[in-house]
A and B are shown apart, each in its own frame.
Chain A
Amino acid sequence: MSIAESEARLLSTEHTGDIAGSRMREAFRQLRRNPVAILGAALITLFVVVAVFAPWLAPHSPTAGDLSQITLSHVPGPSAEHPLGLDTQGRDELSRIIYGARASLLIGVVSLSLGALVGMLIGALAGGLGGWVDSLLMRLMDIMLAVPGLLFAIAVAAVLQPSLRSVMIAIAVVNVPVFARLLRASMIGQRHSDYVLAARSIGVRRWRIIVGHVLPNSLAPVIVQGTLSLATAIIDAAGLAFLGLGSADPSVPEWGRMLADTQQYLQSAPQLALFPGLAIVVSVLGFNLLGDALREALDPKLRR
Chain B
Amino acid sequence: MVLLSVEDLHVTFSHRGRRELRAVDGVSFQVEPGATVGLVGESGCGKSVTSLAIMGLLPPRGAHVKGAVRFDGEDLLQLPPAQLRALRGRELAMVFQDPQTSLNPVLTIGRQVTEVLERHRGLRGDEAKREAAALLDRVGIPDAGRRLKDYPHQLSGGMRQRVMIAIALACKPRLLIADEPTTALDVTIQAQILELLKELVADTGTALVMITHDLGVVAGLCDEVHVMYSGRIVESADRRGLFGAPRHPYTTGLLASVPRLDSPRGVPLRPIPGSPRDTLAWAEGCAFAPRCTRRVEACTTTAPDLVVDAVTRHPVRCYNPWPPGGEPVATSERKKRLT
Partner-B contacts on A (CB < 8 A): 16, 18-23, 193-195, 197-205, 212-213, 216-217
Contacts and interface: CB of A to CB of B under 8 A. Distances in A.
Contact-residue bracket for chain B = 20 to 34
B167 A202 contact: yes
Contact of A200 (B57, B86, B104, B120): B57
Interface stretch (B36-44, B88-96, B192-200): B88-96
A194 B101 contact: yes
A20 B86 CA distance: 29
B89 A203 contact: yes
Contact of B101 (A21, A195, A203): A195
User: Which residue, A194, A216, A217, has most C-beta atoms of chain B within 10 A?
Assistant: A194
A202 B98 CA distance: 16
A21 B106 contact: yes
A129 to B, nearest CB: 13
17 contacts: A16-B153, A19-B105, A19-B153, A21-B153, A23-B105, A193-B101, A195-B102, A198-B102, A201-B88, A201-B89, A201-B93, A202-B115, A202-B116, A203-B87, A203-B90, A203-B119, A217-B106
B93 A213 contact: no
B85 A213 contact: no
B94 to A, nearest CB: 4
Contacts of B151: 19, 21-22
A212 B111 CA distance: 10
Given A202-B89, A216-B106, A216-B107, A197 B120 contact: no
Nearest to A26: B153
Contact of A201 (B55, B98, B107): B55
Given A204-B119, A217-B104, A19 B98 contact: no
Nearest to A201: B94
A213 B104 contact: yes
A203 B153 contact: no
A193 B100 CA distance: 11
Contacts of A195: 101-105
B294 to A, nearest CB: 39
Contact of A194 (B85, B93, B98, B119): B98
A8 B94 CA distance: 35
A21 B155 CA distance: 12
B4 interface: no
Contacts of A205: 85, 119
B15 to A, nearest CB: 15
Contacts of A193: 101
Contact of B153 (A22, A198, A204): A22
Contacts of A203: 85-90, 116, 119-120
Contact of A202 (B88, B107, B153): B88
Contacts of B286: none
Nearest to B97: A194
Nearest to B167: A202
Interface in B109-152: 115-116, 119-120, 151-152
A22 B87 CA distance: 34
A193 to B, nearest CB: 6
Contacts of B167: 198, 202
Contacts of B94: 198, 201
A204 B94 CA distance: 13
A23 B101 CA distance: 14
B168 interface: yes
A204 B105 CA distance: 17
Contacts of A18: 101, 105
A16 B106 CA distance: 12
Interface in B150-205: 151-153, 164, 167-168, 170
A212 B93 CA distance: 20
A271 B115 CA distance: 62
A293 B119 CA distance: 40
Given A203-B88, A204-B115, A213-B104, 16 more contacts: A18-B101, A19-B152, A22-B153, A195-B101, A195-B102, A195-B105, A197-B102, A198-B167, A200-B88, A201-B96, A202-B116, A202-B167, A203-B87, A203-B89, A203-B119, A212-B107
User: Which residue, A20, A21, A197, has most C-beta atoms of chain B within 10 A?
Assistant: A21
A230 B19 CA distance: 49
Contacts of A194: 96, 98, 101-102
Nearest to A195: B104
User: Which residue, A20, A22, A199, A216, has most C-beta atoms of chain B within 10 A?
Assistant: A199
A198 B103 contact: yes
A212 B104 CA distance: 10
B148 to A, nearest CB: 14
A220 to B, nearest CB: 10
